[in-house]
Structure 1
Amino acid sequence: MHHSFSRRRFAKGMMAGAGAAILGDRAARADDGPTPPPKSRTLCFVGGYTKHGPPGGEGNGEGIAVFEMSDTDGSLTPVSTFTDIASPSFITLSADSRFLYAISEINDFDKDGNGCVTAFAVDRRSGSLSKLNAVSTGGAVPAHLSVHPSGKYVLIANYVGGSVGVVSIKPDGSLGKLTDVVHNSGPRQPSRAADNPQGNFAISDHSGSHVHMVSTDPSGRFVLADDAGLDRVYEWTLDLATGTLHPAQTPYFDMTPGCAPRHFAFNKAGTTMYNLCEQDSKVVVSAFNPKTGMITPRQTVSTVTSHFHGSTLAAEILLSPEGKYVYASNRLGDSLAVFEIGADDTLTLVDEVWMHADYGRAMMFDPSGSYLFCANQRSDAVTCFAVDKNNGKLSFTNHFTPVGSPTTFAFMRTLA
């Protein structure tokens, strides 16, 4: 039997078959459910000292390095590095992670010998940085900065300049003018504290005012600054309309002469202040009145065990995200102190952990609080520790991330 079969009929059959295949594929995918959105990632920004720094302050860093963190084991994988910046020794993100601000610990930004602060726009998916602008900090060799809770100003601690600078933030995240610079003054202090630990030969610079940290209490009512040169905690209120600082009811609090207060942290309620002193490696626990700013010391505890004797300089202090533990780093002792917070907010040293590297400075938790990272300036490495949230203790993950002269961190979760 003879059958005729035209090209047109053949084409129609092919189209029908293809349509059925497409519908079948769509049906299969429908059975599997909707396509899941891309997963968000954890990015880590690391800054430190570069070749451009003040005399004696040069380092091996290249700028601000961006890494992706493994949520599984805490390891860091390089993503990119922003190199057009000098010695970004402290960085911080805006509350919404859209912008990053970095001080440059230098003394030659302008003819007046000041340092500078740089604003970056952050790509919320890749973490890449786009420089917006840079302005003077109003003092030499800045060491710390923070963003005021209002989002309107950046607060800057000028270490060599002995001052606190206030810089306005524009709606687009870039930096505006320097709205205030406050210089601290006071009597000359000893290079070693009255309670200097046995065998500690390390000294802190007490030649004048050296502001090492500036930030607000949790309520945002007060601006506080640790002055490691004058051994004082200074307090102001900030006029949000003008960006000017005004002395608080108690303008400063005297610490132990020679102790060099360096960094502080608050409990979530803002009623207890934990102040880390550099020279004597002690934490001073104080009651803090969030209405008046009054600081009342309650306890002083060492960041090293009674077994340790030798030189050490404390560097950083952190509270665990759950607010149950306090962590402090010791640079010369190459150790991490773990304190349990009691019901009365006082501290008990429960563990001391080897840093696994040299001259550990800054520390920071990842956003989940599962890992604690340490910046080891002299070892040119970041070390990572897993956190046991049940007892606060740390376990070294054996992850070393090479970074030149690291000193600071910032973490963010990317957009899905």
Structure 2
Amino acid sequence: MTHSLSRRLFGLGGMAGALVVTTNAASAADDTAKAPTQSEGQPKERTFCYVGGYTKHGPPGGNGDGITVFEMDRKTGGLTSLMTFTDIASPSYIVLSPDRRFLYAVSEIDDFDATHSGSVTAFSINHSTGALTKLNTVASGGANPAHLSVHPSGRYVFVANYTGGTVGVLHVLADGSLGRMTELVHNSGPRMPDRAADNPPGNFAISDHSSAHPHMVKSDPSGKYVLVMDAGLDRVYVWNINSNTGKLTPAAVPFTPMTPGSAPRHFEFGADGKKLYLLCEQDSKVVVADFDPKTGKISPQQSVSSLTAHFHGSTLAAGILLSPDEHFLYVSNRLGDSLAVFQVAQDGSLTLVDEIWTHADYGRALMFDPSGSYLYVANQRSDSITSFRVDKTTGKISFTWDFTPIGSPTCFEFLTLPAA
């Protein structure tokens, strides 16, 4: 969220309904020529990148058109625009289903229906072209949803409604479309300070602590628990989920308090589900915690800044990403426009080893390509995606000098499919 004008303030705008194809025959031929050859007898593959962001029907200044489908050149990391699905408002977060057949997107709006809800849209994916086909759209259960995820079983979609202060669970039907809401919970708690006591020096940015603001919802790797980062109440909630009914019940320890004013935003789990990395946006800290898979208890062990000691000024941490081998962790810092690189020790503790300029403004989501060779950053205010080569030995990243233009990007998903 911004430090002076909340991204949750929305104007009214129209929702254009079309699939805009932008690739011509010549560029398509060029892409085919650039595609890496496969071993004889192996099918050729194509890697698609789906990018969502803010449209005019959303926060002030949203420049996006919808969900854009790019094709990635796996030799260079370059992204070529193929088409844009425009019949959606401000798809600020998107996610693929576990079987990679469907894509789900929030619309970060507050006027989907008479209850001032946002919405969630389900898409099927054409595995020959990467194109999206809308299946249906349903209410999210609260205003301005900021995040969604899919249960490992694929049976439920979780959605965090930032302004609405609610978390919803949606049943997924056999065809991938969204059914009824099986659960809707509303967090509550005392008013927290707008700024954390351990803010970076000179930080004038503030996070909204006026009420509950769920910013992320996702299950642990086992699918037994559902965790919610509440940036308004400075808490990390843990629920048990009944996989048969989609109902939530509080875990033995229902929430873990974070530093007052720190605004917990996003998290990453280690693959075994025992290590948890919690990112707080207001004080730009990563909290390393142990997670008990038997009880769902969170036990913080370390807190480390995503900024080098020489940085002074306004900043808000945004995205967090664990490398596939779990040897490195990456964090994006908005306003400061930097990427932090941490080395992960055997016990899960972090050491900051590098900080690099994003070469753009207001970097948010981070995402690796499927090979882990490139790291991409969605730069909301620069209307661009920047990319970095990854040294898998040291974890350090180097700028490719490749800018991909796109209006107000905020999120990614990559999908590799056999070529038709």
Provide TM-score, normalisation by structure 1.
Answer: 0.90
Task: Show the counterpart of 1:379.
Answer: 382
- Determine if the alignment matches structure 1 residue 272 to structure 2 residue 275: yes
**1:195 positional shift:** 0.8
The 3-state SS of whatever aligns with 1:389 is coil
Q: 1:281 to 1:35 in 2, by over 3 A?
A: closer
**1:150 positional shift:** 1.3
**1:238 positional shift:** 1.1
Provide the rounded CA distance (Å) in 2 between the counterparts of 1:37 and 1:193. Answer: 54
Q: 2:172 aligns with which of 169, 183, 199?
A: 169
Provide the rounded CA distance (Å) in 1 between the counterparts of 2:204 and 2:283. Answer: 10
Q: 1:219 to 1:37 in 2, by over 3 A?
A: closer
**1:292 positional shift:** 0.6
Alignment coverage as a number of residue pairs: 381
Task: Show the counterpart of 2:27.
Answer: none
Provide the rounded CA distance (Å) in 2 between the counterparts of 1:48 and 1:188. Answer: 30
Task: Show the counterpart of 2:108.
Answer: 105
**1:384 positional shift:** 0.5
Task: Show the counterpart of 2:143.
Answer: 140
The 3-state SS of whatever aligns with 2:371 is coil
**1:178 positional shift:** 1.1
Provide the rounded CA distance (Å) in 2 between the counterparts of 1:255 and 1:188. Answer: 14
Task: Show the counterpart of 2:125.
Answer: 122
8 Å CA contact 2:150, 2:158 repeated in 1: yes
Provide the rounded CA distance (Å) in 1 between the counterparts of 2:173 and 2:77. Answer: 35
Task: Show the counterpart of 1:9.
Answer: none
Provide the rounded CA distance (Å) in 1 between the counterparts of 2:359 and 2:263. Answer: 26
Q: 1:393 to 1:182 in 2, by over 3 A?
A: same
Provide the rounded CA distance (Å) in 1 between the counterparts of 2:60 and 2:174. Answer: 34
Amino acid in the other structure paired with 1:258: G
Q: 1:80 aligns with which of 80, 83, 91?
A: 83
**1:95 positional shift:** 1.2
Unpaired segments of 5 or more residues in structure 2? Answer: 1-38
Provide TM-score, normalisation by structure 2.
Answer: 0.89
**1:85 positional shift:** 0.3
Q: 1:13-28 residue pairs with structure 2 within 5 A?
A: none
8 Å CA contact 1:199, 1:310 repeated in 2: yes
* Bigger-Rg structure (1/2): 1
Task: Show the counterpart of 1:71.
Answer: 74
The 3-state SS of whatever aligns with 2:389 is strand
The 3-state SS of whatever aligns with 2:114 is coil
- Determine if the alignment matches structure 1 residue 47 to structure 2 residue 52: yes
8 Å CA contact 2:284, 2:333 repeated in 1: yes
Q: 1:171-190 residue pairs with structure 2 within 5 A?
A: 171-190=174-193
Provide the rounded CA distance (Å) in 1 between the counterparts of 2:175 and 2:83. Answer: 24
- Determine if the alignment matches structure 1 residue 321 to structure 2 residue 324: yes
Once the two structures are superposed, residues 281-340 of structure 1 have per-residue CA deviations (whole angstroms, 9 ceiling, x without a partner) of: 000011111111111111100001001011100001010011100000001110000000
8 Å CA contact 1:189, 1:229 repeated in 2: yes
8 Å CA contact 1:97, 1:124 repeated in 2: no
Provide the rounded CA distance (Å) in 2 between the counterparts of 1:57 and 1:385. Answer: 29
Provide the rounded CA distance (Å) in 1 between the counterparts of 2:327 and 2:220. Answer: 18
- Determine if the alignment matches structure 1 residue 131 to structure 2 residue 134: yes
Provide the rounded CA distance (Å) in 1 between the counterparts of 2:186 and 2:126. Answer: 36
Task: Show the counterpart of 2:228.
Answer: 225
8 Å CA contact 1:126, 1:414 repeated in 2: no
Provide the rounded CA distance (Å) in 2 between the counterparts of 1:125 and 1:245. Answer: 38
Task: Show the counterpart of 1:283.
Answer: 286
Task: Show the counterpart of 1:254.
Answer: 257
Provide the rounded CA distance (Å) in 2 between the counterparts of 1:68 and 1:363. Answer: 17
Amino acid in the other structure paired with 2:288: V
Provide the rounded CA distance (Å) in 2 between the counterparts of 1:239 and 1:288. Answer: 20
The 3-state SS of whatever aligns with 1:41 is strand
**1:415 positional shift:** 2.2
8 Å CA contact 1:49, 1:57 repeated in 2: no
Provide the rounded CA distance (Å) in 2 between the counterparts of 1:109 and 1:63. Answer: 16
**1:96 positional shift:** 1.7
8 Å CA contact 1:52, 1:58 repeated in 2: no
Task: Show the counterpart of 2:357.
Answer: 354
Provide the rounded CA distance (Å) in 2 between the counterparts of 1:195 and 1:247. Answer: 30
Provide the rounded CA distance (Å) in 2 between the counterparts of 1:235 and 1:170. Answer: 25
Provide the rounded CA distance (Å) in 2 between the counterparts of 1:131 and 1:286. Answer: 39
Q: 1:96 aligns with which of 91, 96, 99?
A: 99
- Determine if the alignment matches structure 1 residue 369 to structure 2 residue 385: no
Amino acid in the other structure paired with 1:51: K
Q: 1:256 to 1:82 in 2, by over 3 A?
A: same
Provide the rounded CA distance (Å) in 2 between the counterparts of 1:319 and 1:38. Answer: 30
Identity across aligned pairs (percent)? 65
Amino acid in the other structure paired with 1:255: M
8 Å CA contact 2:49, 2:70 repeated in 1: yes
Q: 2:405 aligns with which of 402, 405, 416?
A: 402
Provide the rounded CA distance (Å) in 1 between the counterparts of 2:294 and 2:371. Answer: 32
The 3-state SS of whatever aligns with 1:414 is strand
Provide the rounded CA distance (Å) in 2 between the counterparts of 1:348 and 1:312. Answer: 20
Provide the rounded CA distance (Å) in 2 between the counterparts of 1:188 and 1:57. Answer: 27
The 3-state SS of whatever aligns with 2:418 is coil
Once the two structures are superposed, residues 42-95 of structure 1 have per-residue CA deviations (whole angstroms, 9 ceiling, x without a partner) of: 100000000111xx4450000000000011010001111100000000000111
8 Å CA contact 2:225, 2:240 repeated in 1: yes
8 Å CA contact 1:331, 1:359 repeated in 2: yes
